[in-house]
Amino acid sequence: MAGAAFAKIGITRGERRAEARRRARAEDKPLSGRRRHVPPSEWCAEERRKAQEEKKRLLGAAEEAAKATVEDGRDLAKAAVKKSRKRAIKEAQARKKRAAQETAEAIRLRDAAEKEALQFEKAAAAASSRKMGIEAEVGALEPLVKGYEERAEKALEKFQAKVAERKVEEEKLARINREAEEGKKGLADLRRRECGLVAEVQSLEQHRAQEAAACTTAQSARQVEEQKLEDAVTQVQLKVAEAEIISEAVEAGLELVAEGALLWQEEATDRKAGLVWGAAAPKTGDLRAEKRKQIHPAMGMVTRIAQLVARTVKRVLAKQRQKLQDDAEYVRGLREQWEPEAQARLAQISQGTDAGPS
């Protein structure tokens, strides 16, 4: 039982060499050589050497774990920076595509307005040609109307002069009267036709005036649409230029964050949260001012990316520190379970004052 208890703290019973020699002597077997006595100084030196080797091994393992943790943090930061860069490029391409679509739509509206104005001009030319034809037709009818008026006046004069003299010529007079009536009817028909033509000419003139007004309105609308198109193109060009500037600023900011030139600093009692220059920052104030001016258009996005990278690295390091702390707590717990004699002996070994087993 005592041996089992001491075995927990690393103290075990040595090899049973005396019993082995007695058994070999009883069985007439060759005896093993005597064990060399180890002086306490040599034993202490060996124990110190073993303790130093264990110390070096633990320190090397801790350093390797810390290096692995830092490398993991760097890889994670690079991945986050690369992902943010891809997202920014994708957003800039989407904005450029929308600008191109708006430009194409404005060009289509301008072409439609030009086509409609051309149709109005063709309609106005057709109306003008029709008016000229009607005016020519009216001019051709005017001599015929004047001839009917002259014939009617002459017939009426003859009837009035010979009414008393030619009572016997009633049939001839009736015929003359019929001719006069027919002439009057023809004249009335011509007058009505002339009035109709005049009304139609007036209607065509009104229609032409309306078409001219519509053409003027179409031209005004075309000018307005062209002005809108020019404004839209200008706005699109401004948006494209702004998107390119922001994209370049984001790329420059990502490079500064990835190289460690820009870092996110959390808020503390003596400082405010914000971006600060890191170890890889430009050395001169002019270079820093130039870099700050270059990333100014996308300062908000660069700040969020730097904040995300800093917090990600902080979480990874916090996890590793917590793991090391748990390991230290575990070792401390094991030491607390040792007996006081074992703890004292371990302290003596660490200090190099232990004289070894008596």
* CATH code, 140: 1.10.287
Asked if 182 and 152 count as a contact pair (C-beta separation under 8 A), the reply is no
The rounded distance, in Å, linking the Cα atoms of 31 and 48 is: 33
Same domain, 211 and 280: no
Query: Any idea what the Cα angle at residue 224 is, between residues 218 and 230, rounded to 5°?
Result: 135
Q: How many separate domains does the chain show?
A: 2
Asked if 321 and 23 count as a contact pair (C-beta separation under 8 A), the reply is no
3-class state of residue 14 by DSSP: coil
Place of tokens 């075309």: 222
Asked if 335 and 288 count as a contact pair (C-beta separation under 8 A), the reply is no
**Residue 71: how many other CB atoms lie within 10 Å:** 10
- Alpha-carbon dihedral of residues 99, 100, 103, 108, nearest 10 degrees? -140
Strand partners, 265: 274
pLDDT at res. 358 = 41
Strand partners, 263: 276
- Alpha-carbon dihedral of residues 177, 178, 180, 184, nearest 10 degrees? 140
CA of 92: how far to CAs of 86, 99, 102, 240, in Å? 10, 11, 15, 9
Mean per-residue pLDDT, 157-181: 72
The answer to whether residue 25 sits within a structural domain is no
For the segment 187-228, what is each residue's pLDDT rounded down to a tens digit? 788 788 878 888 888 888 888 888 888 888 888 888 888 888
* pTM, full prediction: 0.31
The answer to whether residue 203 sits within a structural domain is yes
- Which span out of 49-58, 135-144, 161-170, 333-342 was modeled with the highest average pLDDT? 49-58
Angle, to 10 degrees, between the axis of helix 299-336 and the axis of helix 40-162?
150
**Residue 50: how many other CB atoms lie within 10 Å:** 11
The rounded distance, in Å, linking the Cα atoms of 317 and 184 is: 119
Asked if 118 and 234 count as a contact pair (C-beta separation under 8 A), the reply is no
The answer to whether residue 355 sits within a structural domain is yes
Where is the domain boundary, 188, 218, 247?
247
Asked if 263 and 278 count as a contact pair (C-beta separation under 8 A), the reply is yes
The answer to whether residue 252 sits within a structural domain is no
Same domain, 161 and 274: no
Percentage above 70 pLDDT, the chain: 77
pLDDT at res. 234 = 83
Regarding predicted confidence, which is higher, 117 or 116? 116
The answer to whether residue 113 sits within a structural domain is yes
Same domain, 206 and 279: no
**Whether pLDDT at 357 is above 50:** no
Two tokens at 68?
């692995």
For the segment 241-297, what is each residue's pLDDT rounded down to a tens digit? 777 787 777 777 777 777 777 777 777 777 777 777 777 777 788 887 887 787 777
At 228, which helix (H) or strand (E)? helix 170-259
Its domain, for residue 335, covers 260-358
Same domain, 308 and 231: no
Q: Sorting pLDDT into bands at 50, 70 and 90, what band is 142? A: low
The answer to whether residue 13 sits within a structural domain is no
Asked if 13 and 3 count as a contact pair (C-beta separation under 8 A), the reply is yes
Same domain, 221 and 117: yes
The rounded distance, in Å, linking the Cα atoms of 289 and 246 is: 18
pLDDT at res. 16 = 78
The rounded distance, in Å, linking the Cα atoms of 201 and 135 is: 8
Same domain, 170 and 119: yes
The answer to whether residue 61 sits within a structural domain is no
The rounded distance, in Å, linking the Cα atoms of 150 and 162 is: 19
Mean per-residue pLDDT, 62-91: 80
Same domain, 302 and 348: yes
Same domain, 136 and 224: yes
Same domain, 199 and 148: yes
pLDDT at res. 338 = 61
The answer to whether residue 56 sits within a structural domain is no
Same domain, 108 and 215: yes
